[in-house]
Amino acid sequence: MSLERALALAGGHAGRGYPNPTVGAVVVGTNGSVVGEGISEPAGGPHAEVVALDAAGEAARGGTLFVTMEPCAHHGRTPPCAERIIEAGVGRVVAGCADPNPDAQGGAPRLRDAGVDVELLDLPAARRQNEAWRTWVARGRPHVMLKLAVSVDGRVAVPERRWVTGEESRRRVHELRASVDAVAVGMGTVRADAPRLDVREAPVVRQPRRLAFGGGPLPDGSELELRSGALRDELAALAAEGVQSLLLEGGPTLATAFLADSLVDRLLVFVAPVVAGDGPPMTGPLPEPLDLGVPELERVGDDVLLGWRLQEV
């Protein structure tokens, strides 16, 4: 239950720790009651464990710390959480998932060495709270979410129609845009549709960067940034600029290139109730069929949203 509470604390504040992960922590005292809670403070501020231990004070001694991710073992902008936990005299730590950051990991073995009982879990719910950050820190590229809108016969454009999917799906896409650091299309989509790619139909704290992959040129007045290098190089460069999450809204050509190069982490396909009969298919040829597994399913207005995680850190 306390780990669920820690997950709920962090889940309610997605992105708060950016560019660090957002973590939740709960300290339960020896009498079984919650004596401290914490969420990661914005970068440079204390980590969730420290906030919770500060709140708990002496009541943490002999108690259990529930935390959504393995406590760090390194001196970043703040001292290592593992040392603070040892000093506080916590008897047991339950962590929802391992820390994938090569510079910070090692908290669990450090705690065990100091005699703390550590239970290191691998809960998808814990990992997914920071999935973009995990991909960014472990793979050196942004987490890529490929979104496609298709007809029942798998075409990305329907003759005589401006949009493939309905209004609610399009609003959902604006929510997706609001949740990422950057949105991108290929130059084919720029030439066909000249999309703005900004968030207009959802609340947004920070507009995502808006990119076009390809040789260009961009049309006059376009506010997109042109990225003309090889995809992997551009993704590495974006990661170095702090882009942890990328929503790809391009057409079939760019979608095929990303899929063929195993650069898609999450695939979202909005299927509209129409048989287009004509128009471009959602991908070109791939080196081999992609076995996606069981989808997550959701009705969005008259459309159906299918979602898969193709790779997870």
Joined tokens for residue 222: 């376009």
Closest residue by beta carbon to ligand NAP? 188
The smaller minimum CB distance to ligand NAP, of residues 136 and 213, is found at 213
Beta bridge partners of 27: 36, 65
Per CB under 6 A, the list member of 148, 176, 246, 267 interacting with ligand NAP is: 148
284 secondary structure, DSSP code: -
Backbone angles phi, psi at 184, to 5 degrees: -140, 150
CB 196 within 8 A of CB 177: no
Site stretch for ligand NAP (CB under 6 A), options 23-31, 43-51, 135-143, 248-256: 248-256
* Nearer of residues 93 and 211 to ligand NAP, judged by Cβ: 211
Cα gap 218→187, rounded to integer Å: 8
3-state class (DSSP) for residue 185: strand
Per CB under 6 A, the list member of 250, 259, 267, 303 interacting with ligand NAP is 250
275 near ligand NAP, judged by CB under 6 A: no
State the minimum distance, in angstroms, from the CB of residue 302 to ligand NAP: 16
Single out the residue of 86, 202, 218, 257 in contact with ligand NAP (rule: CB under 6 A). 257
**Helices and strands per DSSP (H, E), number in the chain:** 10, 13
| CB closer to ligand NAP out of 107 and 252 | 252
Of residues 151, 152, 159, 222, the one with CA closest to residue 185: 222
49 is an active site residue? yes
Residue 255 CB, shortest distance to ligand NAP, in Å, is: 6
Distance, CA of 238 to CA of 208 (rounded, Å): 12
Binding mask 180-199 for ligand NAP (x = CB under 6 A): -----xxxxx--xx------
Determine the Cα–Cα distance for residues 172 and 211; give it in Å rounded to an integer: 20
Residue whose tokens read 């259990």: 64
The closest alpha carbon to 148, from 168, 167, 164, belongs to 164
Question: Minimum CB separation from ligand NAP for residue 294, in Å?
Answer: 22
**Which of the residues 49, 70, 131, 249 is marked catalytic?**
49
> Is beta strand 209-213 parallel, antiparallel or unpaired with respect to 182-186?
parallel
The set of residues, in sequence order, having a beta carbon less than 8 Å from that of 88 and lying 6+ positions away, is: 53, 56, 60, 61
Residue in 254, 263, 267, 276 binding ligand NAP, rule: CB under 6 A: 254
Q: Can you tell me which of 97, 111, 164, 183 binds ligand NAP, judged by CB under 6 A?
A: 164
| Residue-wise DSSP of 115-142 | T-EEEE---HHHHHTTHHHHHHHHHSS-
Considering only residues 280-299, where is the footprint of ligand NAP by CB under 6 A? Answer: 280
Q: Which is nearer to ligand NAP, 43 or 163 (CB)?
A: 163
Binding mask 201-240 for ligand NAP (x = CB under 6 A): ------------xxxx--------------x---------
86 vs 231 by CB, closer to ligand NAP:
231
What is the binding site for ligand NAP (CB under 6 A)? 148-149, 156-157, 164, 185-189, 192-193, 213-216, 231, 249-254, 257, 280
Residues with a catalytic annotation lie at 49
